[in-house]
Amino acid sequence: MLVNDQGTVESHDQILYAQTSYCYFVNFNIYLLYRSRPKDTTKNYSIQIHVHDKQSLEYRGSWLFPLAYTFLPVHRMALRITVSPNRPVRCSFACNYNGECVKYMNGNNDNLSFYCRCYPGWSDTYGSREAECFVANYDEMNKCLGTSNGGCLNGARCFQDKLICPTTVKCVCAECFYGQYCQFTTQGFGLSLDAILDYQIQSNVPFLHQPLVVKISALL
């Protein structure tokens, strides 16, 4: 989110990241615009990143990156985020009764390293003003568009990595199904080689040109 020093969100975006699908760092390009152009140079701006688990909606942490040189019309930032398995650090900073104090994951020990995370239905810098909020349908967010369901099979749910201009999709498999497109099943099998062969099978390649181990397994 692009936020000014009054706590107003100038613009925002959302990314769906599936840890099981990426064994390496993935680059995401996000463009955030000011609400008014030219921007108000009397205000300070920062980038806030908030991470939640999509399935459980558990809060995983927040990061704050202030924008220096506010007189510049455009900023470019290259950020690297590592989500810790530990719970975010709480603090004793006063947030009235409508929020909790949380330390930014990249912060130190000064007052700018903490913020008030408001409870549902409340907003403002210190959680003191009731907001007009709506209940978001998280099941509908990031769902794949179109009728092909992103190629996901066997009743799997398809999610795209971004709301705007998606580049990849992720299949969330139903019970007893697995694989990139949930094409494999464990029903009726105590042990299956499908998971091993999945890394050997080359997509968009004819059977005759597949690796030898794939051809042999097809004959067994």
Tens digit of each residue's pLDDT (9 = 90 or more) over 25-45: 677 888 899 988 888 888 999
Determine which of 62-66, 107-111, 212-216 has the lowest per-residue pLDDT on average.
212-216
* Ramachandran angles phi, psi of 112, nearest 5°: -80, -5
Determine the pLDDT at residue 132.
39
pLDDT in tens, 130-167: 443 333 444 555 667 666 777 888 888 887 766 667 77
Determine the pLDDT at residue 70.
78
pLDDT in tens, 92-124: 666 767 778 888 888 776 656 888 888 777 766
Beta strands (DSSP E) in 67-212 are 99-103, 114-118, 122-123, 129-130, 157-160, 169-172, 177-178, 184-185
Determine the pLDDT at residue 204.
63
Name the nearest CA neighbour of 63 among 82, 49, 44, 76: 49
Position 35, amino acid: R
Please give the structure tokens belonging to residue 146: 């179109």
Number of H helices, E strands in the chain: 2, 12
Split at pLDDT 50, 70, 90, the class of 177 is: confident
The yes-or-no verdict on residue 13 having pLDDT over 80 is yes
* Ramachandran angles phi, psi of 91, nearest 5°: -140, 175
Determine the pLDDT at residue 137.
47
* Residue ranges of domains in the chain, CATH in brackets: 1-136 (no CATH), 142-188 (2.10.25), 191-220 (no CATH)
Determine the pLDDT at residue 182.
87
What is the gyration radius of the CA atoms in the chain, in angstroms?
Answer: 23
Split at pLDDT 50, 70, 90, the class of 65 is: very high
